[in-house]
């Protein structure tokens, strides 16, 4: 019998809601962050998308409307104020390549410093106003952590890291991810900032067992079952 998978969360270094979820968990339940697996999610560039297509994997990425983008800007400032974060910086992403930061996380994780890299990247992006798609910014983060600046800042050019990154994105699709932050405990899935506490209760065993669920098709390989439509995500997560 296969062993039960550990609880896990999918984070994105791009998403403000992932940032808030990270901060909330670090503040109130750091033991939960230590007890779960961390997995990154990002919008792939052309090279990573090609690797996914070769495996028959489709990610449920929907273009964000201008109206929702402005809403998230307002919502981010409200949520930051609620948390006592009076100085935040809204990043200006011009032709971002999210592999730069997320594959750098993978390189940092190889050195046992993935969590420290996440903290530093969120600080750089949301509080220092830096562009984490710039290799120079990643090199600066690496130096601050005492890691190999050359390896981290060029991670997006590393074929092996890119292959591993594509495998992580494929795993997210098989897990049914459609937005971040995204949490999984057993068969139960939780999406969005407002689902952090229910996930925590489930991990700590203070929540009633969920009813059994019926089998569903693997969303990574059944994109035809997902109707096309507009961005219907809610404010608790980025879709």
pLDDT of 92 reads 84
- Averaged pLDDT for residues 184-212: 88
The answer to whether residue 81 is domain-embedded is yes
The answer to whether residue 232 is domain-embedded is no
pLDDT of 62 reads 83
pLDDT, one tens digit per residue, over 5-15 is 999 999 999 99
**Cis preceding linkage at 181, omega within 30:** yes
Q: Please, which pLDDT band fits residue 226 given cuts at 50, 70 and 90?
A: very low
Q: Please say if the pLDDT value at position 235 is more than 50.
A: no
The answer to whether residue 233 is domain-embedded is no
CA-closest candidate to residue 123, choices 114, 135, 111, 132:
132
CA-closest candidate to residue 174, choices 233, 215, 221:
221
126 vs 206 pLDDT, higher one: 126
- Which residues form the domain of 199? 8-225
Q: Please say if the pLDDT value at position 91 is more than 90.
A: no
Residue 74: both structure tokens together: 């307002």
Q: Mention every residue, 6+ apart, whose C-beta is less than 8 A from residue 63.
A: 231
pLDDT, one tens digit per residue, over 111-158 is 999 999 999 999 999 999 999 999 999 999 999 999 999 999 999 999
pLDDT of 225 reads 44
Q: Please say if the pLDDT value at position 230 is more than 50.
A: no
The answer to whether residue 83 is domain-embedded is yes
The answer to whether residue 113 is domain-embedded is yes
pLDDT of 102 reads 98
Count CB atoms within 10 A of the CB of residue 116. 17
- Averaged pLDDT for residues 21-40: 97
DSSP state, residue 185: E
Number of domains comprising the chain: 1
Specify the pTM: 0.86
Compute the distance between CA of residue 220 and CA of residue 58 in angstroms, rounded to an integer.
5
The answer to whether residue 3 is domain-embedded is no
Count CB atoms within 10 A of the CB of residue 2. 4
The answer to whether residue 2 is domain-embedded is no
* Average model confidence (pLDDT) across the chain: 89
CATH of the domain at 59: 3.40.30.10
Maximum alpha-carbon separation in the chain: 51
Phi/psi at 223 (5° precision): -60, -25
The answer to whether residue 84 is domain-embedded is yes
């Amino acid at each position: 019998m296969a062993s039960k998978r550990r609880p896990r969360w999918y984070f994105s270094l791009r998403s403000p809601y992932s940032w808030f979820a990270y901060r909330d968990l670090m503040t109130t339940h750091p033991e939960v962050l230590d007890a779960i697996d961390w997995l990154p999610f990002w919008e792939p560039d052309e090279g990573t998308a090609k690797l996914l297509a070769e495996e028959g994997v489709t990610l449920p990425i929907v273009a964000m409307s201008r109206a929702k983008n402005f809403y998230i800007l307002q919502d981010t400032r409200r949520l930051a104020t609620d948390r006592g974060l009076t100085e935040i910086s809204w990043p200006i992403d011009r032709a971002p390549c999210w592999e730069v930061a997320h594959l750098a996380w993978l390189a940092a994780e190889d050195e046992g410093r993935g969590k420290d890299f996440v903290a530093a990247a969120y600080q750089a992006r949301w509080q220092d106003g830096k562009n984490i798609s710039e290799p120079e910014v990643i090199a600066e983060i690496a130096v601050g952590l005492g890691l190999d600046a050359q390896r981290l800042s060029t991670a997006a050019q590393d074929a092996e890291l890119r292959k591993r990154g594509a495998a992580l994105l494929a795993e997210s699709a098989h897990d049914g991810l459609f937005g971040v932050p995204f949490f999984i405990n057993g068969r139960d899935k939780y999406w969005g900032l407002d689902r952090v506490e229910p996930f925590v209760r489930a991990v700590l065993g203070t929540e009633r067992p969920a009813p059994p669920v019926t089998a569903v098709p693997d969303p990574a390989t059944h994109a035809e079952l997902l109707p096309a439509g507009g961005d219907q995500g809610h404010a608790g997560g980025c879709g």
